[in-house]
């Protein structure tokens, strides 16, 4: 049962956030609205033996305190409910607005312990999230983040999908990688590639070496130099065979260029494709190039076989 009542603001316990999931603090956005149009929707409070606590409307209550209201019209829930039911009541009361990912994570991590296995997909769908294991990993990882990282997620500076890798790493390594994403200003796709590579490097015990070299690249003052150095380190560890073949590849290209033949390989030798270009002004030049390629063309592909 709910009752409508004018409540003294100082009787509301603001320290109890057991059922709340709003993030970030919303009261600054509501102050101007309250000044202009007043309170359109009363907060929902729970009556407990220890006083009144907020189920929905924390931002409105705090904004009214900022505006020095003495009383506030509220809906008060008086019936006894389980913690699980109260969490879902708080959620349903907030679904009049879109919830951001951090808010969804805060709610889910609070209710998760009360859910039966079959209720988990239903709850994720209620939050408009895909009912996959990756989603659970992302939501649980968000609970490990401090406010700085949460704000970066909300401001689309961190790709939420990389949070599913949290359990692949020790906490120290995970946050080193996360900070590299931020400090190198990596795009969402670059962040994903970084964590995919780091996951592979764990298995061959190369992660520490990789992180050390990236940290050295980060020490460069010029942004463009940092980004080039990052790419070089990334490619060195992603394609270790390429760095070993680089000298041979350059020698081969120079050898053919001396005869007016340009040889282009697919970047980092990801495929066994080669593009050959040359210009001729007469048939004799064409025959000379073709004969040279017949005699030495195998050198072009020897780079792949070493």
Assigned domain for 295 exists: yes
Share above pLDDT 90 across residues of the chain, in percent, rounded to a whole number: 70
Assigned domain for 153 exists: no
Q: Is the pLDDT of residue 110 over 90?
A: yes
Token pair of 141 as six digits: 């990882």
Domain end among 97, 132, 164: 97
Domain end among 30, 65, 97: 97
Residue 91: give its domain's CATH number.
Answer: 3.90.1530.10
State the burial class of residue 271 (Cβ atoms within 10 Å of its Cβ: 0-12, 13-18, 19+): exposed
Assigned domain for 79 exists: yes
Assigned domain for 179 exists: no
Assigned domain for 224 exists: no
Token pair of 44 as six digits: 């929902």
What mean pLDDT comes out for the span 240-256? Answer: 80
pTM: 0.78
Structural domain harbouring 296: 250-305
Assigned domain for 135 exists: no
The torsion angles phi and psi of 76, rounded to 5 degrees, stand at: -120, 125
Assigned domain for 297 exists: yes
Q: Domains in the chain: how many in total?
A: 2
Assigned domain for 43 exists: yes
Domain end among 97, 130, 161: 97
148-197 confidence digits (pLDDT tens): 999 999 999 999 999 999 999 989 999 999 999 999 999 999 999 999 99
């Amino acid at each position: 049962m709910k009752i409508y009542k004018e409540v003294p603001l100082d009787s509301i316990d603001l320290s109890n956030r057991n059922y709340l999931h709003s993030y970030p603090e919303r009261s600054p956005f509501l102050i101007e609205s309250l000044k202009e149009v007043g309170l359109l929707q009363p907060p929902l409070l729970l009556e407990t033996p220890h006083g009144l606590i907020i189920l929905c409307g924390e931002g409105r209550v705090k904004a009214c305190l900022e505006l020095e209201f003495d009383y506030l019209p509220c809906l008060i829930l008086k019936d006894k409910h389980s913690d699980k039911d109260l969490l879902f009541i708080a959620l349903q009361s907030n679904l009049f607005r879109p919830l951001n990912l951090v808010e969804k994570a805060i709610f889910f991590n609070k209710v998760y312990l009360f859910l039966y296995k079959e209720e988990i997909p239903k709850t994720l769908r209620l939050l408009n999230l895909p009912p996959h294991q990756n989603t659970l990993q992302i939501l649980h990882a968000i609970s490990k983040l401090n406010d700085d990282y949460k704000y970066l997620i909300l401001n689309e500076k961190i790709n939420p999908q990389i949070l599913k890798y949290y359990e692949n790493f020790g906490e120290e390594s995970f946050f080193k990688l996360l900070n590299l994403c931020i400090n190198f200003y990596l795009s969402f796709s670059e962040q994903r590639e970084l964590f995919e590579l780091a996951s592979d490097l764990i298995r061959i015990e190369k992660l520490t070496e990789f992180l050390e070299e990236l940290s050295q690249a980060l020490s460069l003052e010029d942004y463009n130099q940092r980004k080039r150095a990052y790419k070089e380190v990334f490619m060195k560890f992603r394609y270790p065979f390429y760095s070993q073949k680089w000298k041979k590849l350059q020698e081969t290209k120079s050898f053919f260029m001396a005869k007016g033949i340009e040889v282009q390989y697919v970047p980092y030798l990801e495929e066994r494709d080669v593009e050959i270009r040359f210009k001729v002004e007469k048939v004799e030049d064409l025959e000379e190039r073709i004969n040279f390629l017949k005699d030495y063309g195998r050198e072009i592909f020897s780079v792949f076989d070493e």
